[in-house]
Structures are given as structure tokens and as C-alpha cells.
Amino acid sequence: MTRHPYKAFATFLIAFLALGSDASPEPRPNVVFITIDDLNDWVGPLGGHPQSITPNFDRLASRGVTFRNAHCSIPICSASRSAFMTGLLPEKTGVFSNGNSFFDIDPDIQTIPEHLADQGYQTHGAGKLFHGRREDFVSYFHSYGPGTGNQGGPFTREELDTLKQNPSHRVDRGPGQLKALLPLNGMPDDRRDGVSRNNSFDWGPVDVPASEMPDGEIARWAARTLSQTSEKPFLVAAGFYRPHQPLFAPKEYFEKFDPETIQLPEILPDDLEDLPFYAQRLARYALTAGTHQTVLEHGQWEEAVLAYLACVTFIDDQLGLILDALEQSPAARNTWIVLLSDHGYHLGEKEHWGKFTPWSESTRVPLIIVPPSGYDSQEWARGRSVDTPVSLIDLYPTLVELCGIAPPGHDLDGQSLAPLLKTDYDPSSSDRYAITSNGRGTHAVVKGKYRYIRYFDGSEELYDRIADPHEFHNLSPEPQFAELKAELRGLLPSDPAVKRFVRYQDLKIIFFADPSVSPVVFEIAPGTGSGGGIGETKDVSKKHSALLDKIAAYLDQRPDLPTHLTVTDSDL
């Protein structure tokens, strides 16, 4: 099973020696591991939207611990999953966006399912657990269920092709089969750029039963898997696609909401005015979704919010199928449940749609951990919320501790959450904080009641999350917070490979510590094809070789300059 048999033997030997010759170990617990894509705080336990309908999230929260202040390591699919599945921050994996490949990571780094398998677990997976094609990750598990990568289900990638949908594409699969006119929301794709791609910024009901949606297939696979007996401890991991866009769900879930009474997210019309230049560009850039302007022009804001709520309720039902199956299984008495989202999602807050921002809508995620029903309720907390800042990077060491297994062969960046699951946990004794990266050189840290953001060009934001939960008021310019900002800045990770992060006009430039490594340049301006400097998808350094020489000479003459800075024409 494992890609690293020598490491398997080493971890087995460590575990065996730790037991002692006369020890009789308790049966190792099972794990049900549920990931949900693009789910923000619009679920009952987090109270992010007053109209959310999530009885199974509520049911799960009543049985374990809800982390109300949990954050992803980086708010984009591939990078986030690479981080929590390896227990390594993006600075260690090198995966900062969907443009980076999981397979660039050192092959000696074991993922959670690989390490559990080496520790004697039977591992089963389905759906979107990693970012990529199903066939790429099947070998990470003993068995793999449905997971075709069809996030657009029930429609195919060919049917969602932006060029076919310019302006529309009719789907007719024959008598009694699916019929639709795409895009369902009637909006153009802000990210088309004249090339064929999957139009995911769409929403609406579809006349398809839940069981035939990809997530319905995944839930039913998980339920069947849990109904089977296993002589070994097991991992059952299910990765749901919704509410990742396109926001398609069976029409019955749309009918649960009244479109005339949908409540929109609270925003301020001038919310971006106190933000730095790059933050404003980031807010309005259509990198992972469409633009707020397009949504408003087509009168689709209420419809999009309704669709998101409908998709969340649809996933809640699928969650219920898994919980029912586990409860009916004898394994329930010895099975941990871990539920999380890989990152959040904006629906118009800060004029942004999608993710990949350093604000709470992108970084904050649902995280619920439930102890086995057979465990002592006097020791393990149930029905409790924890406001301590935690990170998804903490999941790997948490599972190592909860399962009583040896750690993997590589160091883990997180801290186990096991102490926070105990009834005697005292939050006043914790000094935890959570860090989220947003591309190379841009980070946010949440500690206590503050969120601090430093962008790659040295610009900053600071928010009092208690007094200003929507992060409307940037406190960074106020002089009384200088000392606090310095303290929080000191918590941010550094990248030893980088010498300088520089913004020059609409360029993001990275100079490396190794002089033999050429600098890279990304264009920030929308429409340049480089991911707006945000996704870092296209290096345009060859276009700017003369400019790079001038900036490099300027930096060499001033070695005392900070690592993150903006360079202007007057400097050169």
C-alpha cells in the first residue's frame, strides 16, 4: 500500500517499542473524515446566515466540539488540501495556488491516509479529498469510491464550456432526461478571456434526484462502507463538492427558501476605501469566481445567495446519511468524526466573490470534531464551542494523538487539538494563533480579538474582530496600534528562499536569496492573463528584464530595506 516501505517499518518499530513488552494496547479508534468544498460559516453551529437550514450540522455539533475560530492555511483548493493533508504550511510544500501541483511535494512526505495505512488502518476514500483527478489519488487509499472530479455535476465539463455558453448552450439528454439552458443564471463568464474553460460561476435548480448528484453518490458510498464490518481500524474519508460553484442542486432544496425574503450579506458601500492598493485589486479581481459588478448588473445577488443556501442544505442532507449509517454501525462507539471545509467563500462581502483573500470570509472554516459515542463524556466535551484560534494545519497532529499512533517521518507544523477537546480545557490558558497565507509573501494572522494582514508589498490591515466582526474598519493607520502590529508581524512565517517581495506599479516581483535563481514577475492588473498577480499563474519576467536590472541595482544599494516593500519611479 505505502509508497515508502522503509518508513512503514520505522514507524511500526517506534510504535512497538513505545508499547513495552507487557503492554496490552486499547483498540485503536476509527476515523470518519469529511471535507466540504468552499463552505463558509453559513451553517447553524457558526450562525453565519440566519436563514441557513442545517439540522445535521447542528446534530453533529451537539455531540462534539465546534471550533468557531478555525482557519485554513491558504484559501484555495489545491494549496489548502496540500497543507492539511501533509501537516505542512505552504512555505514547506511550495503549493501556494491551484497553479501549483500537489505532486511537486517531496514524495517522502506522507499524507494522512498514507500514514494511517502504514499504522495498520484500512483506508477508504471518495470524492474531492485532494485537488486533482481521481486517478491521481486512488493509490493513497486501499479503496476509492466515486470521485470523477465532476464538480459541475450533473452537467459535464463539455456542457459547461464557456465557448459553448457564449451566449448559451442547450442541454437535452432525451425524453425524460435532463434538459437545461446554460448558463442557468444567464450571466456571462467574467473569466472567459476568449478561451475554452469550465464556466463554474453559475447557479440554479436542476431536475435531478439527490442520489444522482456526485455528492449524493459519495454520501451513499460512505454509508455503504460504514455498514460493512472491518477487523482493522479504518479511515472513511468523504470529500463533498458542494457548495463549490457552480451552485447547482436538486430543485427541492431551492424550494425550501423564499426568494422574496432572502437576506443578503451585510456590506458597506465604501468598505474598500480604507484598504491598500493591492487589497482593492484583490477584492475586485475575478480570479476564482465572477465580479460583484456583473452579479449586480444581472440582478442575481439574491438568486446566488439562495443557491448557496440551497447547496449547503443539500450537503447537510448528505451528511445526515453518513451520520445515520455510522449510528447504526457498532463502530460508532469507537469512531472519531472530523468535519471541515477547505476554505470559506465570499458572496459579495468586500465586493468579492469566491475565495483566495486574507479576510475572514475566505479563511474561516467550519471545523467540528466529535469523540466516539463510547468514550467517557466526563473526559471528552460534547456540545461545546471553542473560540480559540486554530488552524487546519493542526488536523494531522490531532489525528496522530487521537489514534494513538506514531508520528510520521516528517515534522508537522501544527499543534494537536486534543487538549481542546477535553472537558477540562481552559481557553484562558491558550496562546494559540492561526496563520493564513494568500500567495507568497502575503499573510494574515488571527490572535486574540485581532486579525492582522500584511501584503507582499508591505501594506497592512488590522481589525478588531469582536467590535468589528465584518472587518469593515481597517485600524492599521492608527498610531496607537503600532506596537500590536509589530507583535503580530513577528508571528508571520518567513520564506528563507526569498530576499525581497516588491511591488512596482502593477507588478509583483519576487527576488530570491540565491542570486543564481532569476526573479519572477506577475502582473497585478486584471485581464493580463497572469492571475492578477494573485494566483501567480504566469511569470512575465522576460517582458521586464531591463526594469528588473534597475530594481535589483536599487535594492543592492540599500540592503537595509525591508523584505516587503513598494518601489516607485522616484526610487529608480
Residues with a catalytic annotation lie at: 77, 131
- The residues, ordered by sequence, that sit 6+ positions from 195 with a Cβ below 8 Å of its Cβ are 162, 163
Question: Residue written as cell 485537488?
Answer: 131
DSSP calls for 49-97? -TT---HHHHHHHTTSEEETTEE-SSSSHHHHHHHHHHT--HHHH---S
Provide the β-strand partners of residue 66.
Answer: 368, 385
Residue 200 burial by Cβ neighbours in a 10 Å radius (0-12, 13-18, 19+): buried
Q: Which of 413, 399, 380 is nearest to 338 (CA)?
A: 399
Q: Which of 471, 388, 447, 338 is nearest to 69 (CA)?
A: 388
Copy the grid coordinates of residue 1: 500500500
Residue 307 burial by Cβ neighbours in a 10 Å radius (0-12, 13-18, 19+): buried
CA distance 536 to 96: 9
Backbone angles phi, psi at 462, to 5 degrees: -145, 135
Angstrom distances, CA of residue 38 to CA of 227, 308, 311 = 29, 10, 11
Torsion-angle region of 494 (φ positive above 0: left; ψ -120 to 50: alpha; else: beta):
beta
CA distance 263 to 558: 53
CA distance 71 to 445: 10
Chain centroid to CA 23: 40
Contact in structure between 64 and 74 (CB atoms under 8 Å):
no
In SS3 terms, 17-55 reads as HHHCCCCCCCCCCEEEEEEECCCCCCCCCCCCCCCCCCH
Residue 511 burial by Cβ neighbours in a 10 Å radius (0-12, 13-18, 19+): buried
Angstrom distances, CA of residue 194 to CA of 163, 188, 507 = 8, 12, 23
Provide the β-strand partners of residue 181.
Answer: 170
Question: Residue written as cell 442557468?
Answer: 184
Angstrom distances, CA of residue 129 to CA of 7, 124, 429 = 23, 11, 34
Q: Which of 242, 250, 249 is nearest to 218 (CA)?
A: 242
The residue length of the chain stands at 572
